[in-house]
Structure 1
């Protein structure tokens, strides 16, 4: 087997889901907080658009880079939310956002070149870096900075081998949201050092008190900045697999060639549904975020009521990231305790990198009643 196959890693979410399902097969009830998936149905108008496309036999191959109508909808979306209008040639439609992470690194990073990314962070970042035999440069997110990536920490780690910086704001697993000043500073650092910048903006529509800012406004994704976004979270379309990247035309053209060789194209009728998601009513998203705000407040209050737990208010996404260092257990030990003793499945912070040790991640994509029940069961498990 190729050496790279031993370097690539899985995700802790699926490991703990399997553990929880094993408990359920034994007849035990488990309350689920491990998977980062909205518990809302895909909005009906989006489903209807897919049904109509299937009925109209729009089910064959389409352009590897995406259908024109969806690219035009993304042009409108980027102009409205980021303040600039990319060319059609700057846009690549993908089956989910994850291929955008993989294709970006595969297309930009050579073995031995370095990638800077947040720690704790989405596991795919580090996994692909290791798979490519590139230099692994995780930057620890600090609780005293509300888990926002500090541009000064990035600048200190830049070398002549640095090829790519990855940002994720709003962030998984912490729910942090970088300020405009921080985002602008990272974009400035990337420009000054001639480094590519991948901005993972999959949670850009999922904000509470904070505001969203993209580093792409600096170069309009024409020189070094690549926007990664998708439909899974904001439109409850995780299983549909639809995402996109916006970047420099030459890079997008080469990534399109990767798309041809690896996946042929993104599912045709799913792309039609994506057009409706962007251009149709946003009322389901607004209702979902209103519910997530109520749940965020409930889970943060609940977690802070558990002895030896402390939790900040996340500013985006739908994850709480409590500090459990005072329990005397490490992240995996306490995640296992909570699963087997309390019947609550969450994730150890260490599943998101060494910087996540001492924390847990709770995905509050569940009802307030389930949140309150889980908090009480966790409390009871420590008595």
Structure 2
């Protein structure tokens, strides 16, 4: 996009204030509007190197696959997270929780909690949560309640996402590779399988599209398997690959990335993270997605693009031999608003470079967040350590 010198200076002044959040943005609001019935760690809990093994997890019914709705919430004209409802405690209170495949810990914000064991977690954008650890029952959808599950209680929370409509985070990273969470227990998925409530450590995820479309953005979380009604099968529609991460995350290798049918990057490792509201690339890679007319790069490396999706060329990512096109609506962020800028024409791009921190090594892995994940159906299999991506039905 060609601008006059004065316009460019003004635009750079606006863009310099744009803060790029890192990989995981799953930070709940500080609301304390309901009590959570909790119990102390039982005497039957045995600690091994800070890992808590709960001995009273028992089977209650035949294992089955269950699905619950995921609701998108918006900040700055973009879908920034997805909330599912989990029932906790003897009163089976409905607790809206952020679903995050980029972390493992299951934690909530209570009204009151006083326990001796503590936990802490810090996310990629610097937000953090900490507090005591308790155990209580967790119920998901139509499944029986899972008793004695370690839950982090977030009594101290920091971060910028204060308006997130959630009261906790449910981590769905690979529990086989990250056997111990920050609370000392297993992941929620591994706990449900150990309780024989679900048949496998598999989660299927469909993210709905709400931002800029005036829609609710309803998706679906399926535990123990997947929902075949939500995705396409057959050649060119579905691919299963090995999870290349070794630290408990979910990671794939992108064969290539295309803009307007032209390959711009090849062979990039990328994390899949529902707690990340952007597509974050390694330094220098983001520019290749913004070399078309109407796109803009500020002096400090922030990318902008047209607010009109019809002015954005086709963008796609290939995994294995399957090419996944991205709906251009999904990479359009908030409008850039400032005196002297044309209204409704330029928006922040949701494809940005990682904001590498001074004194730390640069990131070498991309993070494919919500803009990419809204365009695929994910099947994350901890048992087989595989990732299946399919085109949505």
Alignment TM-score > 0.5, same fold: no
Q: Greater relative contact order (Cα 8 A, min sep 6): structure 1 or 2?
A: 1
Question: Normalising by the residue count of structure 2, what TM-score does the alignment of the two structures yield?
Answer: 0.29
Q: Report the structure, 1 or 2, having the larger strand content.
A: 2
Question: Normalising by the residue count of structure 1, what TM-score does the alignment of the two structures yield?
Answer: 0.29
